[in-house]
């Protein structure tokens, strides 16, 4: 059984992961609407991944006899000025999620909640990958600038994500 404080913090993270899924799905729809199916594919798969993260929190809360509390999910933005802006926001969001998970780890440690500390280790490692992926794409977008060929090449590359 987990403490009330830990339960509330885990539920807050569950909601943040669901929002992440929603945000990336909105980004996917944006890219689809402007004809960049590769970028849309990458974001759609990212949305699925974030939903899986949310379900890990959902299942963990239940496993430790916590109470799942599903909150209202904020409506994500629908349009962006550029591909670059989308990935700037993606990296910013991933850094927010990283900070949130680190905060959960601090709470778990302060409460000697070894099970939750262990559970969170996977997410701590996952966030390194998430930030690196976003940064890599952002760096490529900065490199190609407004170059149409570069954007089309990236669209093809991101479309190959499975």
Across the range 116-136, mean pLDDT stands at 97
CATH number of the domain that 84 lies in?
Answer: 1.20.1260.10
Task: Specify the pLDDT at position 124.
Answer: 97
Q: Is the dihedral of CA 25, 30, 32, 38 positive or negative?
A: negative
Residue-range definition of the domain harbouring residue 138: 4-159
pLDDT of residue 155: 96
* pLDDT surpasses 90 at 146: no
Predicted local confidence at residue 48, as pLDDT: 98
Q: Provide the whole-model pTM.
A: 0.95
Helix, strand, coil fractions of the chain, as percent rounded to 5: 80, 0, 20
Least confident window among 8-12, 117-121, 147-151: 147-151
Domain count, the chain: 1
DSSP, collapsed to helix, strand or coil, labels residue 17 as: helix
pLDDT band at 1 (very low <50, low <70, confident <90, very high): confident
| Over residues 13-35, mean pLDDT | 98
The SS3 assignment for 40 reads helix
Residues with Cβ within 8 Å of 64's Cβ and at least 6 positions away in sequence, in order, are 1, 2, 115, 116
């Amino acid at each position: 059984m987990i403490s009330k404080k830990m339960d509330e913090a885990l539920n807050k993270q569950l909601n943040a992961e669901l929002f992440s899924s929603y945000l990336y799905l909105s980004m996917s729809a944006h890219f689809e609407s402007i004809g960049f199916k590769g970028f849309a594919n990458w974001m759609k798969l990212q949305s699925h991944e974030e939903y899986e993260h949310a379900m890990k929190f959902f299942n963990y809360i239940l496993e430790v006899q916590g109470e799942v509390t599903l909150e209202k999910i904020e409506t994500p933005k629908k349009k962006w000025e550029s591909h670059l802006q989308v990935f700037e926001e993606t990296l910013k969001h991933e850094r927010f999620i990283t900070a949130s998970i680190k905060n959960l780890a601090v709470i778990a440690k302060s409460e000697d909640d070894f099970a939750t500390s262990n559970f969170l280790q996977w997410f701590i490692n996952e966030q390194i990958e998430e930030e690196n992926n976003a940064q890599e794409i952002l760096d490529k977008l900065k490199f190609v600038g407004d170059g149409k060929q570069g954007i089309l090449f990236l669209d093809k590359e991101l479309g190959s994500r499975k």
